[in-house]
Structure 1
């Protein structure tokens, strides 16, 4: 950005804009997550696991943007709550697979609906083509950094 224009560098920097957009997307939704009795990371774990096969702890940590030791402790607590199931990976007994239980899916299901509605509300200022384009571009950026 041009310093003479009065705009700060961060106002046009992609990283800053992405953080602002992420904050806008989650600032009100986080209240609903907490009201359901979940932390933000528990929400991310259940949302990630609810519609797919079991993941290893390291895969799950990558998906929920957290460190593996943190996720290891977290999924143990979530297993104690009955929200996830832990089992040895049949291909490598040293690895643990994590899957959502029926109770975990029941807990997260209403939040998924609320998350979709909240996303629609946040993106209401964009046309449907812009929403699709935005998601495709963000996915492309995410893929490029893997």
Structure 2
């Protein structure tokens, strides 16, 4: 009997494969909306939350701060984001989603929810809750 390959049981590989499976089909919706995946992650992160600093946003969207700095400037120029100085520290910029950004994000968020439900259909509801709880725990949340 052949022993299973290392990667078949390696958490990083399994998480990567699951991430790829989740975004493989959803990517078409993001592209159809005229967005890149990182633009989608920015809008999804900000659409229903408080403004974030650029450094906080970079952590949330899993990207480097210089990349996010340029990205949010471009997205603000497109009317999707609003940039303002942090009233508590004028050196920091707060990023929030504009009304136009919310209009762009809202249907994609709904499609993301539907896509996630379809991906998780093979799991029972308790397994779905446990999976999300365990992943959040691993992520340090």
Q: Normalised by the shorter chain, which TM-score bucket?
A: over 0.9
Residue of 30, 40, 44 corresponding to 1:43: 40
The CA distance in 1 between the partners of 2:21 and 2:110, in whole Å, is 18
How many residues are aligned here?
A: 141
Instruction: Kindly report which structure 2 residues correspond to 1:1-146, keeping only aligned pairs within 5 A, or say none.
Output: 5-143=2-140
CA RMSD of aligned residues (A): 0.9
1:6 Cα deviation after fit:
3.7
- Unaligned stretches of 5+ residues in structure 1: none
Q: TM-score scaled by structure 1?
A: 0.94
The CA distance in 2 between the partners of 1:65 and 1:16, in whole Å, is 18
SS in 2 for 1:38: coil
SS in 2 for 1:52: coil
1:16 Cα deviation after fit:
0.4
The CA distance in 1 between the partners of 2:140 and 2:60, in whole Å, is 13
The CA distance in 1 between the partners of 2:29 and 2:44, in whole Å, is 14
SS in 1 for 2:90: strand
- Unaligned stretches of 5+ residues in structure 2: none
